[in-house]
Chains A and B, each alone.
Chain A
Amino acid sequence: MARDTPLRDDQVERYSRNILLKEVGGTGQRKLLSSRVLLIGAGGLGSPSGLYLAAAGIGTLGVADSDRVDLTNLQRQIAHGTDCVGRDKVESMARAIRRLNPDVTVELHGRISEKHIPFADYDVVLDGSDNFETRFLVNDAAVRLGVPLISAAVLRFEGQLTTVLPGDDHPCYRCLYSGPPAEGTVPSCSQAGVLGSIAGTMGTLQATEAVKLLLGKGALMVGKLLLYDGWTGEFRTVCYRRDPACTACGGVNCGENGGA
């Protein structure tokens, strides 16, 4: 819907707890309803972030994934049900979103690759992918196209999150980690395991970050890496800055202070 379209009565009721927040209000809710968010991955992170964003009334959710629902996914990928095993994840996710909130338009995409990067149509991209190649591809494309990125990742009892904004001096995911690790040096969830609720924690943090970004309010995790250790119960934030030698953002957007 357009930003100036008045809310219907049922929308005023549905989103009343959002609208009560002075930081959101009716104006903010209309902004959310006119927003477009792309989820990379309909898995452990994409399930909670997608469901909470759908519930919050994000107008359009794009979902990019090429996997099918597997029984091993259901321990954490809560958008999918037992009756969805064997189905395309994007279809299953779309069904879950529509069931939760018919206000949301769902757009389905296949796997993100060099040839398929539909970012320019979206206000923000949430990376919840399950491999490093995609993570760096997504970062580099977001930087190149000037689209904000909220990146989160999980393994075992751990989670990490950072937000990348285009322009000026903002660092990117590649400033933090320069490139994918050598094959086999960092385990995946299918090798080392992950507690489902850790993915839930990090996915919902991504959703909160996305809502703030879309409203243009609140502090974002830009130049900050949030580290969550679920085993010790500790959250920690560390700062990082642009790496002038970064191959993704080091050579672009160099203003007077940039790239120095």
Chain B
Amino acid sequence: MKLKVNGEEREVPSGTTVAALLPMLGIDGGRIAVEVNTEIVPKSEHGSRVLREDDQLEIVTMVGGG
């Protein structure tokens, strides 16, 4: 199925969860928040949140400067 990640189209197996997607993108889940269709998915739901065709994802990277 097709998804959009940070504006770019990606093909992933159907049934892919947020937790499964992150390693495909080469992303360490420890320093980011994952936004699906403008809402952040809580970290404890990354494993159970199954992505759907045409979902739009943004990977939000934490910044800590002040």
In the complex, which of the residues B32, B39, B58, B64 contacts A239, with contact meaning CB atoms closer than 8 Å? B39
Q: Is A219 an interface residue (CB 8 A)?
A: no
Q: Are B60 and A238 in contact (CB under 8 A)?
A: yes
Measured between beta carbons, the chain B residues less than 8 angstroms from A189 are 65-66
Q: Which residue of A lies closest to B62 (CB)?
A: A177
Q: Are A181 and B31 in contact (CB under 8 A)?
A: yes
Q: Are B64 and A153 in contact (CB under 8 A)?
A: yes
Q: Are B64 and A130 in contact (CB under 8 A)?
A: yes
Within 8 A of B (CB), among A102-155: 127-132, 135, 152-155
A228-251, CB under 8 A of B: which get 1 and which 0?
Answer: 000000000011111111100000
In the complex, which of the residues B39, B60, B66 contacts A44, with contact meaning CB atoms closer than 8 Å? B66
Question: How long is the Cα–Cα vector from A127 to B66 in the complex, in angstroms?
Answer: 8
Q: Are B66 and A153 in contact (CB under 8 A)?
A: yes
How many residues of chain A have a CB within 8 Å of chain B?
A: 43
Q: A182-B31, A238-B58 are in contact. Are A153 and B43 (CB under 8 A)?
A: no
Q: Is A179 an interface residue (CB 8 A)?
A: yes
Question: How long is the Cα–Cα vector from A241 to B43 in the complex, in angstroms?
Answer: 11
Q: Which residue of A lies closest to B44 (CB)?
A: A245
Measured between beta carbons, the chain A residues less than 8 angstroms from B39 are 238-241
Question: How long is the Cα–Cα vector from A46 to B66 in the complex, in angstroms?
Answer: 8
Q: A80 CB to closest chain B CB, in angstroms?
A: 14
Known contacts A45-B66, A225-B40; 4 further A-B pairs (Cβ under 8 A): A160-B63, A238-B40, A240-B42, A244-B42
Interfacial residues, chain A to chain B (CB-CB below 8 A): 41, 43-46, 127-132, 135, 152-155, 158-160, 175-179, 181-182, 185-186, 188-189, 194, 199, 225, 227, 238-246
Q: What are 19 A-B contacts defined by CB distance under 8 Å?
A: A41-B66, A44-B65, A128-B66, A129-B66, A132-B62, A154-B66, A158-B63, A176-B40, A177-B31, A178-B30, A188-B65, A227-B60, A238-B35, A238-B40, A238-B58, A240-B39, A243-B45, A244-B44, A245-B42
Interfacial residues, chain B to chain A (CB-CB below 8 A): 28, 30-33, 35, 38-40, 42-45, 58, 60-66
Q: Which 9 A-B pairs have the closest CB atoms?
A: A181-B31, A245-B44, A243-B42, A240-B40, A189-B65, A155-B63, A128-B66, A130-B66, A132-B64
